[in-house]
Amino acid sequence: MGGKIAIVTDSTAYLPQAVIDKFQIYSVALSVTIDGKSYTENRDINESNFYEIIQGATTFPTTSQPAPGDFILLYERLRDEGFETIISIHLSSGISGTYQNAVSAGGIVSGIRVIAYDSGIACMAMGMMVEKAAELALNSEIDTDIILAKLDSMRAAMNAYFLVDDLNHLARGGRLSNAQAIIGSLLQIKPILHFENKKIVLYEKIRTQKKALRRIEDLLGEAIKKDLAQQAYIVHGNNYEKALVWKNELQKKYPDVDFNISYFGPVIATHLGEGALALVWTLK
């Protein structure tokens, strides 16, 4: 086993199972409630059946963070398996209480050091950080401080810009700062959103989706010049074809960046809606 450091995240990292297995990543799950029924992410519901289930829903779905008990059970199990330290990396504290529950649980469990880490973001943007941390943790020569320093540098370089088809999802779920003002002035405008101070805010209003995608590409280009974008993900909400087309265009335009495709799973898709598209990048 590595240097006795366990890496924990939550289900909104949307990491491929192969990565989870390869780097021994542990996770707690968030859930989605649809018409009074609760579905645990990646167990009862995932990106393949989510859109089907919500099609027939009569109420707007809601999401819930993992219970503190879920963290406590996992942390105790890892302690009993012989880990000395846990680095628990979670989605932005500005949009979910998951990180705070990790902090609380870490204070309750004895016999193991728990470091809760606020990624300040979500989805594969966080997933890239989790994957790197887990890869480093498998090397017994590497200590906690090195992993945390790497996470800090990735978080500092990290950026995510996204487009949604319908802002009402974010507004209803209370996840968009100053939502009403933005929605009221939109009409046929495509807003580019991003994370600022851990919250989702409007970055810019653009007339068409095509222009909005070009604008995000330019932002990526600026980040590449500063050497802040070495790997990137196109993230989609039930829109793989559009994501693939964009990935191919981006790969041609910026051949030195490592581009991949990921998706918005149920918890994040609840707030962004179907058809959302994002570009996220950071250091390798």
The domain total for the chain is 2
Q: What is the DSSP string of 12-30?
A: GG---HHHHHHTTEEEE--
**Residue-wise pLDDT tens digits, 217-242:** 999 999 999 999 999 999 999 999 99
C-alpha span between 137 and 145 (Å, rounded): 11
**Residue-wise pLDDT tens digits, 237-251:** 999 999 999 999 999
- β-strands 113-118, 258-263: how paired? unpaired
Local confidence band at 28 (pLDDT 50, 70, 90 cut-offs):
very high
Query: Of 156, 182, 197, which one is at a domain's C-terminal end?
Result: 156
Q: In terms of domains, do 247 and 212 share one?
A: yes
Structure tokens at 209: 């989706």
Maximum pairwise Cα distance, the chain: 57
- Backbone φ and ψ for 239, nearest 5 degrees, come out as -150, 50
Local confidence band at 2 (pLDDT 50, 70, 90 cut-offs):
very low
Q: In terms of domains, do 196 and 145 share one?
A: no
Q: In terms of domains, do 94 and 210 share one?
A: no
Q: In terms of domains, do 172 and 238 share one?
A: yes
- The yes-or-no verdict on residue 270 having pLDDT over 70 is yes
What range defines the domain where residue 120 resides? Answer: 5-30+65-156
Q: Tell me what pLDDT residue 177 has.
A: 76
Sequence-separated (6 or more) residues with CB below 8 Å from residue 226: none
Q: In terms of domains, do 137 and 185 share one?
A: no
Phi-psi region of 203 (alpha: psi -120 to 50; beta: other; left: phi over 0): alpha
Q: In terms of domains, do 79 and 203 share one?
A: no
- Mean residue pLDDT of the chain comes to 94
User: Is residue 100 domain-resident?
Assistant: yes
Q: Tell me what pLDDT residue 186 has.
A: 59
User: Is residue 50 domain-resident?
Assistant: no
Query: Of 129, 156, 183, which one is at a domain's C-terminal end?
Result: 156
In the Cβ-directed half-sphere of 142, how many Cα atoms lie within 13 Å? Answer: 17
Q: In terms of domains, do 276 and 190 share one?
A: yes
pTM exceeds 0.85: yes
Q: Tell me what pLDDT residue 189 has.
A: 78
pLDDT-above-90 percentage for the chain? 87
Q: In terms of domains, do 19 and 137 share one?
A: yes
- The yes-or-no verdict on residue 3 having pLDDT over 60 is no
Sequence-separated (6 or more) residues with CB below 8 Å from residue 49: none
Q: How far is CA 45 from CA 40, 137, 247, in A?
A: 6, 30, 27
- The yes-or-no verdict on residue 166 having pLDDT over 90 is no
- The yes-or-no verdict on residue 173 having pLDDT over 70 is yes
Q: In terms of domains, do 110 and 141 share one?
A: yes
Q: Tell me what pLDDT residue 179 has.
A: 66
Q: In terms of domains, do 175 and 276 share one?
A: yes
CATH number at residue 85: 3.40.50.10170
Query: Of 130, 156, 182, which one is at a domain's C-terminal end?
Result: 156
User: Is residue 132 domain-resident?
Assistant: yes
CATH number at residue 210: 3.30.1180.10
Report the pLDDT averaged over residues 267-271.
Answer: 96
Sequence-separated (6 or more) residues with CB below 8 Å from residue 178: 201, 202
